[in-house]
Structure formats: structure tokens, C-alpha cells
Structure 1
Amino acid sequence: MSTVPRVHFHRVDADGVNVFYREAGQPDAPVLLLLHGYPSSSHQFRTLIPLLAPHYRVIAPDLPGFGFTQVPAERDYVYSFDNLAKTLEAFVEALGLQRYALYVFDYGAPTGLRLALAHPERVTALVSQNGNAYLEGLGDAWAPIRDYWAEPTAQHRQAVHDNVLNLEATRWQYVEGVSDPEQIAPEGYYLDALLMERPGNKQIQLDLFYDYRNNLTLYPAFQQFFRDTQVPTLVIWGKGDPFFIPPGAEAYRRDNPNAHVELLDTGHFALETHVEHIAQRIIDVLGHSIV
């Protein structure tokens, strides 16, 4: 029997935050940094990490406000994507990572791409799994949040709270666009919903929903990074995603004609249904180029 790589669970202090992260693979292997999205955590990579660990040193942190990362009250943390990226940069520095490939998904895209802008020379490759960087990639599911952006009233904030921050809406994000919802393990959306019930966490999520508008203004800078670096790129996308729609995947070719773009018959959380395929495509496209 082949040996299943062991996943290790660690914590490190970075930017005044106690960051929880998962790690597997040999310490001297090329680094692949996995960045999760809303409303999940590094837990979403639980089945991907062992598949990639024979090839890479795989590291998956929980961003502040998510998973098991702890932000002390006295830190007075302001939840914005700029600050998530600053904490991520401090995390990378704390681990002494000098070169890494990025796997970005959902919130992990604007966070990880800010890190790429800060240190473009460190990025060896890019995997975008429903990680948007183009205006045409924003689907109709953003409508209530766009209303909140346009008019940040208490009424619109409450509407986002009521319509989005609950178990039913979290489950919908997992199963929408999936041909057979019974393929989706329930512990993912139940864990996400449970952690969201921690005191103060829903206000954190509302702050991040409102701040997401600032990511759109950085899209041109992200796209310039793609043009300037032309790093090996895999764009692999659940085409049934109601938030980040297929035109956002196809747009990557505009700035990096060598990008591999593949649409999968699944939804937002594509790893829940296609983890083996995605792992193999990462190995195929990135290979050993991410030294």
C-alpha cells in the first residue's frame, strides 16, 4: 500500500494574529500556498493537500476571521482585504518562504494577488480555481452585495446579513451548479456555518462584504501582474458558480495567452466534486516549474 502523506497542523504568530495552518510535504520541496475563500477555511483543502504533498510542500493558512485563526481582541484588527493581505505577508515572512506558487480561490484571489503585487519575484506559478480578477467574472449572485456597496445603509447591511449569513445560504453556495448535490459532504458547510456563529463573526463578514468593492479597483493591477510575469498558470473553474462566472475564467487568456483554462461541470466549491482531477491538472501544468 502506498503511504498517504501526513498533514500537520500548526500555529504561528504573524502581524499580531495567531494563524492556524495546515502543512504537508517535504520541507525542501517547491512551495504551493493554498488560499481559501468565503465562508470556508483551510478545511476546504483537506482532500487536496494529501494528493499534492508527494510533489510539493503544501501550506494552507486560515485567514483572519475564518477557520481556527485567532485574532486577539487587543489587536483591534480592521477586517479589510488590504489587512488580510498584510497578515498573509507576515505569515509568509514568519515561515521564511522566499518562493511559492499560489492557489487562489474566492477571497483567496484578492488576498493572494495583493501578495503577488508586493513580491512578484517570489511567485513561481498561479492556480486560480474560481478566483476572480476580472469585472466580467462577477455573477448575478452579487446583486444584494452590490446594493450594499451602492448604499451602505443599515437596511442593506441587514439584508445581506439575513440573506447570506446562515446555514441555508452557506449550503446553497456548496451545491448550486452541482449536477448531483449528494456528492457534497455536509461537514464543509456545517463547519463553515458553525464557525460563523462565533460572537462578532457575522459583523466581520459584513465588513468584508462591503470592503470587497475595493478589490475591483485593483483588478487592472492584478491583470498587469499576469501580463508582466507570464508565470505558468492554470485556471480551473466550476462553470456552475453563481458568484464567479465562466467569462472571468476565459479572461485570464487575455493577459496570459499561455494560461491553461478549463471549465468543470460543477459549482463554486469545485474541490468537493473534482479534487482528484484538479490535483492532477496542477501537477500536469505546474510540474516542477515552481522551484
Structure 2
Amino acid sequence: MDRSRDLPSWPHADLSRFCRVGTNDWHVQETGRGPILLCLHGSGASTHSWRDLLPLWARDWRVVAIDLPGQGFTRSTTLRRCGLDQMTEDIARLCATEGWAPAAIVGHSAGAAIALSLSSHLPGPPAVVGINAALGRFEGVASWAFPLLARLLALNPLTSTIFTLGGPNPARARRLIEGTGSRLDAEGLGYYARLIGDRQHVEATLQMMTQWQIDPLIARLPQIESPTLLIAAEGDLAVPPATSDISARRIPGAEVVRLADLGHLAHEEAPDRVAELVTDFLRSVILQPDRTRSDCR
């Protein structure tokens, strides 16, 4: 995407700003007042994934949504730090630089894994909500075939160029989204079509897949101290809902809520339902909401 051209037509562009920290020129959206709620999108998405949730949560929170390195409108000078641990470190550094002390982190899919990893790097620790959290290993032949395929694609300098030929492709976006069990309206599909038509975004997403190592985090789940809620959509074809059940048994005190009739992008399909679940949970576990209040920059 041409950032200067496309940002004005992006959801909540009026809330956007950029800050240079480390190797990233971070795209940040902020709204509301109160304790900080940090939102982390999943692989291949952007802040647009929270477009309907931001105004709902802004009633009670200072909501901060960021684009992951190289994805959306965040630009990086290197794509060698797209793994789980590296992104955790870079987001922790961003929080420290900006003076953010999140009371809670909400993450979708891979963003939920980052949220759990990040929780041990922040004071509090913050509460964590994972929506269709990508906390499982590939099974069987996929355990070697999928990561190998991602590596081969990422190592080929022509892959992102070939994938994005022709620019935004709504039909391709629809196939990708429906393959996860979700159904989005034309507007929602349009945002994903624009993302998958952007070579830099696709390249960063491929590098994230290539560098992703979930096993160390899975091993650390019993040490997670954050109050944790995992929301699992029963129609998710990308991350089986059983993954949340298994993970919750490993995280002390974690809760699981199942959502029927929704897919991997449940928070985009039914933002009101997800917003209410998250708000009720956070109100129940954050007993001193003023502990993370900070001034807006």
C-alpha cells in the first residue's frame, strides 16, 4: 500500500499516528481515556480488524491498537525480527518508550500468542484475552510441511510479487476469509483485499510464518500469571476451538468461552458479542482500574 495515499481511507484514520521505535515505524491508533487496553491483530491483518470494537471499548478504556512489524501501515527496516520472541521484545520496547502500562491486552490468533508472551514483560501483569488464540502445534504431516512451505515461499524473492499481481483482489480475499470459517461483508473483505494486494505486507506476513516458533511459549503457559480469557469460535477452520480448551488447562485460572456460528474472525463478524464478553471479563478481574492510568501523549 502507498501509506500516504491509502491511510486516509482506512478505518479510524483520524486516530492514527506514527512513532519510530527500534527498527519499526509503528502505526498506532488511540482512542478513549482510562486504563490502557492494548490490541494486537493476527497474522496478515492490521488495526482495521478492531474497527467496530474500538468505539465500544473506548467508553471505558484508553484503547491502543498497533500494526505488527511490516504489516498494515507499520514499516520496518528489517524483517528479521518477525518471530514471536522478537516481536514480543519490540512491542515491549514500544510500550516502554511510549509510557504505556497496559491493564489488559486483547489479541486475535497469533496476536493472542504475542499477548501472552508480552504479559511477562510488562508490569502488573496485565490481563489477557485471546480470541481464537493460535496456541497449538501443527499435527501430523503439517508439522513439517506447512513451516517448510512458508520458508520456501519466504526465501523466494518473487513470491510476494507474484501473489500481489493485479493489486487488490476481492475474490481472492473472499476465498481466504471463508476458508477460515468466517463471513464478512463487502467492506470488511475490501480491507483484506487491499492488504493482500500489498507486496510489503505479504512479505512481512510470510516472514512471520517462517520465523514463528510457538513451542517455547506453550512450555511457559503454566507460568503465566495474567488473568486469562480464551474466546473460541466453534466454526473456526483455522484454529480448532479445542486448542483454547487445551491451553486453558495449562494456564493457571484461565477461562474459556465458546461462541457458536462464528469463524476465525469472530470479533469482526460479531463485534458487539465479543466486546461484551471482553468487557465483562476485564471488569471482573481488574479490581484497581486506575493502577495503569497514564497521560495521553
Q: Once the two structures are superposed, what CA deviation does each residue of 1:93-147 show, in whole Å capped at 9, x if it has no partner?
A: 122013431111122123223322333x433211110112243xx579x94x841
Moved more, 258-267 or 269-278: 258-267
1:274 has 2:270 as partner: yes
Conservation of the 8 A alpha-carbon contact between 1:6 and 1:50: no
Q: Once the two structures are superposed, what CA deviation does each residue of 1:225-262 show, in whole Å capped at 9, x if it has no partner?
A: 33xx1x33221122221221011111233134643311
- Change over 3 Å in CA distance of 1:153–1:42 after alignment to 2: closer
- Change over 3 Å in CA distance of 1:100–1:155 after alignment to 2: closer
Q: Work out which of the residue numbers 228, 231, 234 in structure 2 matches 1:239.
A: 234
1:23 has 2:30 as partner: yes
Q: Secondary structure at the match of 2:88?
A: helix
Q: Secondary structure at the match of 2:75?
A: coil
Q: Work out which of the residue numbers 95, 102, 114 in structure 1 matches 2:98.
A: 95
Query: Which residue does the alignment assign to 1:133?
Result: 135
* CA shift for structure 1 position 273: 1.8
Structure 1 unmatched runs, 5+: none
* CA shift for structure 1 position 173: 4.1
Matches within 5 A, 1:149-160: 149-150=147-148, 154=152
Specify the code of the residue in structure 2 equivalent to 1:106. Answer: S
Q: Secondary structure at the match of 1:133?
A: coil
Query: Which residue does the alignment assign to 1:215?
Result: 214
Query: Which residue does the alignment assign to 2:124?
Result: 122
Query: Which residue does the alignment assign to 1:14?
Result: 21
1:51 has 2:46 as partner: no
Structure 2 unmatched runs, 5+: 1-11, 290-297
Conservation of the 8 A alpha-carbon contact between 1:148 and 1:210: no
Specify the code of the residue in structure 2 equivalent to 1:112. Answer: A
Q: Secondary structure at the match of 2:257?
A: strand
Query: Which residue does the alignment assign to 1:225?
Result: 223
Q: Work out which of the residue numbers 174, 197, 200 in structure 2 matches 1:171.
A: 174
Q: Once the two structures are superposed, what CA deviation does each residue of 1:15-67 show, in whole Å capped at 9, x if it has no partner?
A: 132111111111xx111111001211011001001111111111100111211
2: CA distance between counterparts of 1:32 and 1:8? 15
Query: Which residue does the alignment assign to 1:285?
Result: 281
Specify the code of the residue in structure 1 equivalent to 2:185. Answer: A
Q: Once the two structures are superposed, what CA deviation does each residue of 1:130-179 show, in whole Å capped at 9, x if it has no partner?
A: 112243xx579x94x84143577748977xx59x9575554334334658
Specify the code of the residue in structure 2 equivalent to 1:64. Answer: P
When the two structures are aligned, how many residues end up with a matched partner?
266
Q: Secondary structure at the match of 1:38?
A: coil
1: CA distance between counterparts of 2:173 and 2:81? 20
1: CA distance between counterparts of 2:146 and 2:179? 23
1:83 has 2:78 as partner: no
Conservation of the 8 A alpha-carbon contact between 1:234 and 1:261: yes
Conservation of the 8 A alpha-carbon contact between 2:235 and 2:264: yes
2: CA distance between counterparts of 1:139 and 1:281? 30
- Change over 3 Å in CA distance of 1:122–1:173 after alignment to 2: farther
Conservation of the 8 A alpha-carbon contact between 1:102 and 1:125: yes
- Change over 3 Å in CA distance of 1:99–1:242 after alignment to 2: same
CA RMSD of aligned residues (A): 3.1
Q: Secondary structure at the match of 1:268?
A: coil
Q: Work out which of the residue numbers 233, 250, 255 in structure 1 matches 2:250.
A: 255
- Change over 3 Å in CA distance of 1:139–1:34 after alignment to 2: farther
Conservation of the 8 A alpha-carbon contact between 2:44 and 2:201: no
- Change over 3 Å in CA distance of 1:242–1:12 after alignment to 2: same
Q: Secondary structure at the match of 1:287?
A: helix
Moved more, 94-103 or 165-174: 165-174
Conservation of the 8 A alpha-carbon contact between 2:153 and 2:206: no
Specify the code of the residue in structure 1 equivalent to 2:118. Answer: L
- Change over 3 Å in CA distance of 1:12–1:174 after alignment to 2: same
Q: Secondary structure at the match of 1:33?
A: strand
